[in-house]
Structure 1
Amino acid sequence: MTVDPRAGEWLEANRANWDERVPLHVASEFYDRSALRAGGSLLDPIAAAGIERLFPDGLEGVRVLHLQCHFGSDSLSLAQLGATVVGIDFSQPAVEEARRMAEELGLAERARFIEANVYDARHMLPEPESFDLVFTTWGTIGWLPDVAEWARIVAWYLKPGGRLYFADGHPAAYMLDGDDGPDGLPSLRYAYAGDEPDVVDSGEDYADPDARLQHTRTWEWMHPLSEVLGGLREAGLTVEEFAEHYQVPWRIFPATVPQGHGLYGWPGTRWAPLSMELVALAP
């Protein structure tokens, strides 16, 4: 199925779903922002270690573009670490909350937020080759139909020598779901590759188990590793680092167990990688 990445039923359905999630997430323990209010960072251990590897001397003077930033907790974490940050998200309530929180924290001069579909970003923020780092993590490209265009947008924004930092759930893990397999493990539910989106109808929310959403229909896409890596290469970027992890910073399946510092993993055998991260360099 070919969809228009800039408009259509998929975009309106996903936006309505995420607009409804924003107040639930703001009020949830899952997105507890007390550490942010105390002057700290909410970056998960995987992303925090990745940023430290890239910028061992700190983020002072580093200009960051955060794509699909939700309501900006990671954007503001990067700002509190010294960066100047622009966050982009397609949800108006999310952007409004990000701006409000930036004001509360006294970071409005370091962090600004723009409401835009990723595919419209170049029209809303026409600043090519202006960022040292494009940052995007956890639950991002699965909501996008066209990874090749996403990669071109990333490349367009990076300065020569700038880098993309990307971390997300592993596509192998996204083939699985539920707890009806042996010993409560998830079962194989989704194809690893295919052009058709998964149109999901669910009123559940991962951050608030008691919530029941009204806008239940979402469109999601599986993007194999070859598609992601190939898209970055075709956009002119060089993948410098790639890693697969057997931990992820949320309880991705009922069978996964806490492993410290907010990370979850398999209780025994490492059945499949749960997350991936990569760094890509602009020429």
Structure 2
Amino acid sequence: MVDLRSGEWLDDNRANWDDRVPVHVASEMYDRGVLRSGGSQLDPIAAAGIARLFPDGLEGKRVLHLQCHFGSDSLSLVNLGATVVGIDFSEPAIEEARRMAAELGVADRARFIQANLYDARHMLPEPESFDLVFTTWGTIGWLPDVSEWAGIVAWFLKPGAPLYFADGHPTAWMFDYEGEPSPDAGLPRVRFPYSVEGPDVLEDPSDYADSAVAIAHARTWEWTHPLSETMRALRDAGLRIEEFEEHFRLPWRIFPAVVPLGDGMYGWPDTKWIPLGVELVARSSR
């Protein structure tokens, strides 16, 4: 059994994400000019999801953003009216999130905590205190235990409040390229099983936001979580799944074969070969 609060997996993944922070801060993908102008950087899928959940806006709403990276989406939610607490395990990421909140003049409505997600209840002992738990894009694949994750989500939600979750589709993670892929390499091939016990320990220095960069701490530990496992974990934690949708687009270039669709999104050029993203809303049934 994996120790959820310490160990090689956590050290390696944290070092990898620490290295990514300056790369992402400097990248065009994370250009925060929109934040500085008072706007939102939420991708179209998440933006539409939040609008559906809160048609009257986020004014007066308290949001917990799990695995918030350096807070671009957290601060987007603040610009939309919310008060946000963001949690991430990377110290450089949290430092940058706090710096940006101060620059924008919203530090009174944006609190950032550096912590392993599995320590969230100890770092933020405020059960049933949030109107929304928000977590999107590249999150649970870094976590060894989604049952504990779901329990943490449920612990923080007010009775009847929702979780908004969007991430890469677990089917998409089965595919990759042999050798060095290029834009004309064609479709990816099945390389990984849909469900596997234990982590994939990978040595990959590439970064999705800047293809020219090599990450120094290249080793990561990643876990495959089939949809049934994730949805069962949420149900067992006392959440009721209210919305579920599969998407054929993502806010990053997952494969060389996908093409820009506009608004920072990428998808298949013609046939919808496999779903690339998954989105769900689960609501506290307390």
Alignment TM class, shorter chain as reference: over 0.9
Are the equivalent residues in 1 in contact too, given 2:175–2:188 (CA < 8 A)? yes
Show the counterpart of 1:67. Answer: 66
Gaps of 5+ in 2: none
Query: Superposition pairs for residues 1-283 of structure 1, below 5 Å?
Result: 2-178=1-177, 179=181, 184-283=186-285
Letter in 1 for 2:210: D
Superposed CA RMSD: 1.3
Q: Using the TM superposition, give the Cα deviation of residue 175 of structure 1 relative to its aligned residue in structure 2, in angstroms.
A: 0.6
C-alpha distance in structure 2 between counterparts of 1:234 and 1:138, whole Å: 23
C-alpha distance in structure 2 between counterparts of 1:228 and 1:14, whole Å: 21
User: SS at 1:29's partner residue?
Assistant: coil
Letter in 2 for 1:75: S
Are the equivalent residues in 1 in contact too, given 2:185–2:256 (CA < 8 A)? no
Letter in 1 for 2:231: L
Post-superposition, which runs of at least 4 consecutive aligned residues in structure 1 deviate over 4 A? none
State which drifts further: 213-222 or 171-180: 171-180
Aligned residues: 282
Letter in 1 for 2:70: F
Q: Using the TM superposition, give the Cα deviation of residue 30 of structure 1 relative to its aligned residue in structure 2, in angstroms.
A: 1.3
User: SS at 2:159's partner residue?
Assistant: strand
Q: Using the TM superposition, give the Cα deviation of residue 183 of structure 1 relative to its aligned residue in structure 2, in angstroms.
A: 6.2
What do residues 35-64 of structure 1 show as CA deviations (whole Å, max 9, x unaligned)?
A: 111110000000000000000000001100
Letter in 1 for 2:157: L
C-alpha distance in structure 2 between counterparts of 1:259 and 1:266, whole Å: 9
Q: Residues 183, 214 of structure 1: CA spacing in aligned structure 2 closer, same or farther, 3 A cutoff?
A: closer
C-alpha distance in structure 2 between counterparts of 1:243 and 1:278, whole Å: 6
Q: Using the TM superposition, give the Cα deviation of residue 8 of structure 1 relative to its aligned residue in structure 2, in angstroms.
A: 0.4
C-alpha distance in structure 1 between counterparts of 2:38 and 2:50, whole Å: 18
Q: Using the TM superposition, give the Cα deviation of residue 193 of structure 1 relative to its aligned residue in structure 2, in angstroms.
A: 0.5
What do residues 43-93 of structure 1 show as CA deviations (whole Å, max 9, x unaligned)?
A: 000000000000000000110000000000000000010000000000000
C-alpha distance in structure 1 between counterparts of 2:185 and 2:155, whole Å: 47
Q: Using the TM superposition, give the Cα deviation of residue 257 of structure 1 relative to its aligned residue in structure 2, in angstroms.
A: 0.7
C-alpha distance in structure 1 between counterparts of 2:30 and 2:115, whole Å: 22
Q: Using the TM superposition, give the Cα deviation of residue 192 of structure 1 relative to its aligned residue in structure 2, in angstroms.
A: 0.5
C-alpha distance in structure 2 between counterparts of 1:48 and 1:275, whole Å: 15
User: SS at 1:96's partner residue?
Assistant: helix
Are the equivalent residues in 1 in contact too, given 2:75–2:101 (CA < 8 A)? yes
Letter in 2 for 1:254: P
What do residues 87-145 of structure 1 show as CA deviations (whole Å, max 9, x unaligned)?
A: 00000000000000000001101110000010000000000000010000000000000
Letter in 2 for 1:246: F
